[in-house]
Amino acid sequence: MVQNELAHTTTKSEAAEAEINLSVVEPSSSHVIGSVKSRELTSAASSSAESRSQRCSPFNESFTSETTRFRVGYWFPEKSIRLINWSEFVELCKCHGIDLIELDLNSNIDEQLPLDLIFHKIIALYKPKLRGVNSNIEFNFKRLLNFIESHPEIPAIDPVPAQLQLFNREYVCNLISSVCSEINIQTPKSNLNNPSPDDFNVSQSAPCKVHVPVWYKLNNAPRSEDELTCMQGLQLPCICKCVDTWDERSHEMSIVFSWKQLIESSAELIRYPIILQNFVRHQKVLFKVYVIGKQTIVQKRPSVDIPDIHSEDTEPIHFNGHKISKAEQNQPDKNSTTSNACINSSSDVSVSFDMETALKVVNSIREKIKLDIFGLDFLVAGANEEPSGSGQEAMPQNTHYIIDVNPFPGCSSLANLHELLLNLLLSKLAK
């Protein structure tokens, strides 16, 4: 059994430097909750009606050169190519001196050199590889991985070993625990540029701390309630997640309201080993944080909740976390608003997301895992939130919880994705 208890250690955490783009948006509507930007990116067009001169207008002139061109070898799955609108991204890169070269995995990749950078999503091959989908996937994965590892002189976005370890939720929980033990963040006073009171709900209350809900790893189904009640800090209701996120059922989760429900659950509903974790009441709001280089974007998504009145007789809740939190029709938000506020998720729900908290967490995790592209999931306990179980303590308003870290999450809901990716490529090529 692995237990993770939170250490409340106060440390100094440096704020982000100049190249941070931090914003909170609602992908399903045109309303932007708020944003913090330290530099502006000129928007490259995503519409075919826009002129080439508009698309090629440099938003990062320090990296743009008429004489120097870079070759970036890439491999992405067909689904990502389609969702990202890759052909337009290729044209945008050309305007900024980057030639994107698709890596042919069916031939010797060394013959496709020279390359200045490798840009890949090999994790799209990793999941079906472990599931044993077919031998061709196994072959392509090994060929691409061997090529990346045999050319350490060519920088890659991202290092494969660092990506693959995030497919294990036990590793992720330990990673988050380490971050939480190092960070004790004071919520800064607001410094707003006269925003509308309808746009922001600025919290200037107690310090904003970061936590991970108490968790344990269970390798097998428990045989008695005694095995569970002795786990310090574990309180009902609890959420059950499978350990390996490459598993085809990795998004299938369950919330149990009694130990009996967990013991008697069928293997079809709960597949061991699992992470068993305290459920946090968060008013049905999940904050998804996307990190692309030194740019950080936050989106508000729907989430699952439990009945306000519940007991050990309440029926277990089984759900697919990916489907519930998916951006509605992948509709990106086109607008932005500048502020240094704590962001309120909506006008009628008192859940405020602290941008500075997110930024310091991002910096800490980036330093630990050495990835340029990753995602995090945050929950925030709202004002006057009641504890989930009879034995749980009520947490202060705006207590932030980190519940997941993902390698190269789907980013198609981001309005300015092409610019974010281009900026990352340019920064890597400039080193």
pLDDT in tens, 222-250: 999 999 999 999 999 999 999 999 888 88
Residue-range domain boundaries for the chain: 3-21+165-407, 43-164+415-429
User: At 337, which amino acid appears?
Assistant: T
CATH superfamily of 3-21+165-407: ATP-grasp fold, B domain (3.30.470.20)
The answer to whether 183 touches 15, Cβ cutoff 8 Å, is: no
pLDDT category, 336, cuts 50, 70, 90?
very low
Residue 386's pLDDT is what?
52
Residue 409's pLDDT is what?
94
User: Can you tell me whether residue 98 is helix, strand or coil?
Assistant: strand
Encoding tokens for residue 265? 């659950």
If you average pLDDT over residues 259-271, what whole number do you get? Answer: 89
Rounded to an integer, what distance in angstroms lies between the CA atom of residue 19 and that of residue 182?
A: 24
Between 419 and 64, residue with greater pLDDT: 419
If you average pLDDT over residues 97-107, what whole number do you get? Answer: 96
Looking at every residue in the chain, the average pLDDT score rounds to 77
User: Measuring CA to CA, which residue among 228, 215, 230 is closest to residue 180?
Assistant: 215
Q: Which residues contact 50 (CB under 8 A, 6 or more apart)?
A: none
Residue 6's pLDDT is what?
31
Residue 122's pLDDT is what?
93
**Is a pLDDT exceeding 80 seen at residue 67?**
no
pLDDT category, 343, cuts 50, 70, 90?
very low
- The whole-angstrom distance between residue 27's C-alpha and the CA centroid of its chain comes to 15
- The whole-angstrom distance between residue 82's C-alpha and the CA centroid of its chain comes to 21
Between 148 and 52, residue with greater pLDDT: 148
Lowest pLDDT segment from 98-107, 206-215, 320-329: 320-329
Rounded to an integer, what distance in angstroms lies between the CA atom of residue 182 and that of residue 364?
A: 9
Lowest pLDDT segment from 77-91, 155-169, 375-389: 375-389
**Is a pLDDT exceeding 90 seen at residue 40?**
no
Highest averaged pLDDT of the listed ranges 161-175, 243-257, 341-355: 161-175
Residue 193's pLDDT is what?
32
Residue 184's pLDDT is what?
59
pLDDT category, 428, cuts 50, 70, 90?
very high
The answer to whether 182 touches 210, Cβ cutoff 8 Å, is: no
Residue 214's pLDDT is what?
96
Residue 104's pLDDT is what?
96
The answer to whether 71 touches 318, Cβ cutoff 8 Å, is: no
**Is a pLDDT exceeding 80 seen at residue 384?**
no
Residue 248's pLDDT is what?
80
Encoding tokens for residue 31? 């309303």
The answer to whether 215 touches 276, Cβ cutoff 8 Å, is: yes
Encoding tokens for residue 236? 């009902």
Rounded to an integer, what distance in angstroms lies between the CA atom of residue 417 and that of residue 304?
A: 27
If you average pLDDT over residues 299-304, what whole number do you get? Answer: 93
Question: If one looks up domain 43-164+415-429 in CATH, what number appears?
Answer: 3.40.50.11370
User: Measuring CA to CA, which residue among 149, 208, 180, 157 is closest to residue 342?
Assistant: 208
